[in-house]
């Protein structure tokens, strides 16, 4: 046996180096066509694999059966070796002599992390059923789910995948396949309905276009007829004018002949006066009237054009108003009440009545109280009064203007304000469920604040309610980004929950009772600045605005808040919800745990998440990938917030 092969089988890295230094052929094959790289990939340790790749080993070399190094690494579940081989350019869809692939090997062996890595690298899951059939035959439920999500076609029954008797998880797999087929049929039906609606719309548009064309043709024919009639009338008028002119000429000639004899007699008799000017010689009184008539016609035409222009402007304004109303209905499905200006006297009396027991929180600009105001109590009961100590009237009005742009069911509603220097404050609905920070940590006076808010029942949140709150907060932030507004202080303390549970419809089973969450404290929000291309991307500031643990490290270099720095805060909130720990230093403490859970499907993060709120492993792995994409990715583009929300 060749010295290099012996060293690889023994896992002797030094022996491998010595063999390579002795100029032994790195791609030499044994009697079965197996190379040293193929042998090393089956054994597991990634060190020999990388060493052989650096020495120039052929990454896609096949043995006599057509197996490659990637196939054997996938077969035995060596994830690190799989990544090393794919980084070296291994063909993920290469086939053996019998049509086997690395994905089929990994699916049949149940190596979920390897299957996920191969799918991300472009392994073809929808090209046939061998990989799915292998996973079904050996009962690997999670692998079956991964392949179905990647586009693999579900077989009509398990009989096509099971040779002798059903494997483990047969019932669950059968249910999963039935659900997948139902969803595909529903999507196909929806696509067919959409196609039919599009065809009907196209037919209606064509009919409308035909009607408009016919109307245009009829209008053109009518205009041509009118023009012909006008031309005939003009010719007729011209002929009549020529006849009248000839008649007047004859009359003048006749008049001259008649006046010739009296003129001669007068000349002979020494007439004392000249004859009076004839009518033809007098200035025509119609000359001025024709000019005036032309001015009147121009004024009449201008007046006729004026109402039409005004009508067109009115129609355009109506169309713009309708479009703005539609956009507002999409962006703000709730009908916000008018924002009222509350007198300082009313506020001071309400705060005095609330007393110290009404203090329910404290923010960056002042304390927050729960109080009853006569102008709002009929509809809202107690409201939250955010005292903005240190702010000027202009600052209050700026925040009011910003909040009016943020009408959304997952952004805290603005009810009123006071810009009087005696009691500058903002008024919002009282979120009796407290902040996500208090509900996760239950420390530092959190229980007392929740009691003052009026929360009833257990203050702890299970994983479903944490996930619902995170989704609502991400929806609110996505709405702000759609309005070109940067929040600049996204943190768990600014995610507020209602005090009453609401039913959340589920795809299967009864509705889940959850709290609706809103994103609050938009006082630091700022409209994004335009770039040279006109796109709103960031906001530059001299003073960094973020709370400890939630600040994106990129801010320290650029001093520019952006959509990514806001989404960074959502990533930290997700990590807090997984492990129930404060944000300060959390990212640094769990960075390796998140990477292991995201890349290898292992690590202590799973145990910490289960102990904190009973998080399932699948949900923990998915959220670890989200945290990695939003806040921990390096040297690549971060995950957009809309993808994380989906």
DSSP β-ladder status, 526-527 and 485-486: antiparallel
Distances (CA, A) of 555 to 290, 406, 524: 78, 24, 15
DSSP assignment, residue 631? I
Are residues 149 and 179 in contact, defined by beta-carbon separation less than 8 angstroms? no
* 529, β-bridge pairs: 538
Q: What pLDDT is stored for residue 213 in this prediction?
A: 73
CB atoms within 10 A of CB 55: 18
> What tens digit of pLDDT does each residue of 219-259 get?
776 776 676 677 667 766 766 777 777 777 777 766 655 55
Comparing 178 with 314, the larger pLDDT belongs to: 178
Please state which of the ranges 99-108, 332-341, 613-622 shows the lowest mean pLDDT: 332-341
* Sheet containing 367-372, strands listed edge to edge, beginning at the edge strand earlier in sequence: 340-341, 416-418, 425-429, 382-387, 367-372, 359-362
570, two tokens: 């959502």
> What tens digit of pLDDT does each residue of 199-214 get?
888 888 887 887 887 7
Q: How confident is the model at residue 280 (pLDDT cuts 50, 70, 90)?
A: very low
493 within some domain: yes
469 and 411, same structural domain? no
| Count of CA atoms in the C-beta half-sphere (13 A) of 189 | 6
512 and 376, same structural domain? no
Q: How confident is the model at residue 270 (pLDDT cuts 50, 70, 90)?
A: very low
Whether the full predicted model's pTM is greater than 0.85, yes or no, is no
126 within some domain: yes
pLDDT (average), residues 14-35: 87
> Cα angle at 250 between 248 and 252, to 5 degrees?
70
Q: What pLDDT is stored for residue 257 in this prediction?
A: 58
DSSP β-ladder status, 512-514 and 485-486: unpaired
pLDDT (average), residues 435-445: 92
464 and 423, same structural domain? no
Q: What pLDDT is stored for residue 328 in this prediction?
A: 40
pLDDT (average), residues 446-465: 91
302 has a pLDDT exceeding 80: no
534, two tokens: 């006109």
Q: What pLDDT is stored for residue 643 in this prediction?
A: 84
475 and 412, same structural domain? no
Q: What pLDDT is stored for residue 107 in this prediction?
A: 87
Comparing 233 with 412, the larger pLDDT belongs to: 412
Comparing 256 with 520, the larger pLDDT belongs to: 520
The parent domain of residue 341 ranges over: 331-430
Mean predicted lDDT score pLDDT of the chain: 78
Domain boundary among 138, 154, 183: 183
436 within some domain: no
Dist. CA 630–CA 569, nearest whole Å: 9
Dist. CA 485–CA 541, nearest whole Å: 14
Q: What pLDDT is stored for residue 122 in this prediction?
A: 87
Comparing 62 with 327, the larger pLDDT belongs to: 62
Q: What pLDDT is stored for residue 566 in this prediction?
A: 87
197 within some domain: no
Coil, strand or helix: which one is 534?
coil
Q: What pLDDT is stored for residue 8 in this prediction?
A: 86
472 and 411, same structural domain? no
Coil, strand or helix: which one is 236?
helix
> What tens digit of pLDDT does each residue of 151-168 get?
777 776 655 555 445 567
> What tens digit of pLDDT does each residue of 367-388 get?
899 999 998 988 889 999 988 7
283 within some domain: no
240, two tokens: 């009549």
Q: What pLDDT is stored for residue 272 in this prediction?
A: 36
- SS3 letters for 564-598? HHHHHHHHHHHHHHHHCCCCCCHHHHCHHHHHHHH
503 and 367, same structural domain? no
278 within some domain: no
Dist. CA 498–CA 616, nearest whole Å: 25
422 and 463, same structural domain? no
143 within some domain: yes
Q: What pLDDT is stored for residue 595 in this prediction?
A: 86
Q: What pLDDT is stored for residue 178 in this prediction?
A: 76
**pLDDT over 70, % of the chain:** 76
Q: What pLDDT is stored for residue 396 in this prediction?
A: 77
Q: What pLDDT is stored for residue 571 in this prediction?
A: 93
Q: What pLDDT is stored for residue 461 in this prediction?
A: 95
Q: How confident is the model at residue 578 (pLDDT cuts 50, 70, 90)?
A: very high
Domain boundary among 132, 149, 183: 183
453 within some domain: no
Domain boundary among 161, 183, 205: 183
- Number of structural domains (the chain) is 3
612 and 463, same structural domain? yes
Are residues 131 and 102 in contact, defined by beta-carbon separation less than 8 angstroms? no
Q: What pLDDT is stored for residue 428 in this prediction?
A: 92
629 and 535, same structural domain? yes
Please state which of the ranges 108-117, 271-280, 293-302, 596-605 shows the lowest mean pLDDT: 271-280
Are residues 555 and 588 in contact, defined by beta-carbon separation less than 8 angstroms? no
CATH number where 356 lies = 3.30.200.20
535 and 421, same structural domain? no
415, two tokens: 């009810």
595 and 518, same structural domain? yes
Q: How confident is the model at residue 262 (pLDDT cuts 50, 70, 90)?
A: very low
């Amino acid at each position: 046996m060749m010295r290099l092969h012996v060293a690889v089988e023994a896992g002797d890295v030094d022996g491998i180096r010595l063999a390579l230094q002795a100029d032994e052929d790195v791609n030499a094959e044994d009697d079965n066509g197996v190379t040293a790289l193929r042998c090393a990939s089956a054994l597991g340790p990634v060190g020999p694999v990388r060493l052989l790749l650096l020495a120039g080993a052929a990454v896609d070399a096949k043995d006599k059966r057509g197996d490659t190094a990637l196939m054997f690494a996938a077969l035995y579940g060596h994830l690190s070796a799989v990544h090393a081989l794919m980084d070296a350019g291994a063909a993920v869809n290469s086939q053996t002599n019998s049509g086997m692939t690395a994905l089929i090997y990994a699916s049949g062996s149940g190596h979920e992390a390897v299957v996920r890595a191969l799918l991300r690298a472009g392994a073809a899951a929808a090209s046939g059923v061998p990989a799915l059939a292998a996973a079904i035959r050996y009962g690997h439920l999670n692998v079956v789910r991964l392949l179905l999500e990647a586009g693999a076609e579900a077989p009509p029954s398990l009989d096509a995948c099971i040779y002798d008797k059903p494997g483990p998880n047969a019932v669950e797999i059968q249910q999963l396949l039935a659900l997948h087929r139902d969803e595909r049929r529903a999507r196909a039906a929806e696509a067919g309905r959409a196609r039919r609606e599009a065809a009907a719309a196209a037919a209606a548009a064509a009919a409308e276009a035909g009607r408009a064309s016919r109307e245009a043709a009829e209008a053109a024919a009518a205009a041509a007829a009118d023009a012909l009639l006008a031309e005939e009338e003009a010719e007729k008028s011209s002929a009549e004018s020529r006849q009248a002119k000839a008649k007047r000429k004859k009359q003048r000639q006749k008049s001259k002949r008649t006046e010739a004899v009296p003129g001669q007699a007068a000349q002979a008799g020494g007439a004392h006066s000249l004859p009076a000017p004839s009518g033809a010689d007098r200035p025509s009184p119609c000359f001025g009237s024709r000019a005036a008539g032309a001015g009147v016609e121009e004024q009449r035409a201008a007046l006729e054009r004026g109402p039409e222009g005004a009508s067109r402007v009115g129609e355009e304004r109506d169309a713009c108003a309708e479009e703005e109303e539609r956009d507002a209905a999409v962006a703000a499905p709730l009908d916000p009440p008018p924002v009222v200006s509350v007198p300082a006297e009313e506020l001071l009396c309400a705060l005095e009545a609330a007393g110290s027991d009404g203090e329910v929180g404290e923010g960056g600009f002042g304390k927050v109280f729960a109080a009853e105001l006569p102008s709002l109590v009929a509809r809202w009961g107690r409201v939250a009064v955010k005292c903005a100590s240190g702010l000027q009237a202009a600052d209050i009005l700026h925040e009011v203007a910003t909040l009016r742009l943020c009408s959304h069911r997952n952004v805290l509603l603005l009810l009123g304000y006071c810009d009087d220097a005696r009691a500058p404050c903002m008024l919002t609905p009282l979120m009796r469920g407290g902040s996500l920070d208090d509900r996760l940590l239950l420390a530092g006076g959190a229980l007392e604040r929740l009691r003052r808010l009026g929360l009833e029942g257990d203050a702890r949140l299970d994983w479903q309610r944490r996930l619902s709150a995170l989704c609502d907060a991400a929806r609110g932030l996505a709405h702000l980004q759609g309005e070109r507004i940067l929040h600049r202080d996204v943190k768990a303390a600014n995610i507020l929950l209602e005090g009453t549970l609401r039913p959340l419809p589920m795809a299967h089973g009864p509705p889940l009772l959850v709290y609706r969450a809103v994103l609050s404290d938009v006082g630091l929000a700022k409209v994004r600045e335009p770039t040279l291309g006109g796109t709103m991307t960031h906001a530059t500031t001299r003073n960094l605005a973020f709370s400890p643990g939630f600040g994106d490290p990129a801010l320290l270099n650029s001093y520019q808040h952006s959509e990514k720095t806001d989404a960074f805060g959502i990533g930290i909130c997700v990590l807090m919800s997984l492990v129930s720990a404060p944000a300060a230093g959390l990212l640094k403490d769990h960075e390796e745990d998140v990477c292991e859970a995201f890349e290898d499907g292992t690590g202590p993060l799973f145990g910490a998440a289960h102990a904190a709120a009973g998080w399932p492993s699948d949900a923990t792995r998915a959220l670890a990938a989200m945290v990695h994409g939003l806040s921990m990715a390096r040297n690549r583009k971060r995950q957009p917030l809309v993808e994380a929300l989906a």
